[in-house]
Amino acid sequence: MLRTFIAVGVLLGAALAPFAACAAAPLELKSVTVDLPDSDRTFPPGPGSDAVNNNCLACHSAGMVLNQPALSKAAWSAEVNKMITAYKAPVAPEDVGTIVEYLTSLPSAK
């Protein structure tokens, strides 16, 4: 009976040895830096440009937004609301309508 326990112990030890080796490896974290594009560009002046500059430039460059395809008022409204609800963008609620109107009035937005 003792031989059986010893045999089972040896087999169990051999079976678990690879897992013990993996668990012994320390977790190593590495720092990463990311360089984001920097731009002083703002949205073109016009009714609502202050609201867009104050709310949207926190996350987006003006160039990125201005290079979007032409969107309807409903599409811009959906995009702005997605930024607020899905991405938790810090957009002032009283500025949402002004932002949508501004983005819709851009020359590329028809």
Q: pLDDT tens across 54-90, in order?
A: 999 989 999 989 998 889 999 999 999 999 999 999 9
CB 91 within 8 A of CB 84: yes
> 49-105 sits in which CATH class?
mainly alpha
- pTM given for the model: 0.64
- Rounded to 5 degrees, φ, ψ at 58 are -65, -30
Tokens found for residue 9: 């112990």
CB 43 within 8 A of CB 53: yes
Domain coordinates in residue numbering, the chain: 49-105
Q: What pLDDT is attached to residue 10?
A: 73
Question: For the chain, what is the mean pLDDT?
Answer: 85
- Rounded to 5 degrees, φ, ψ at 44 are -55, 145
Q: What pLDDT is attached to residue 109?
A: 47
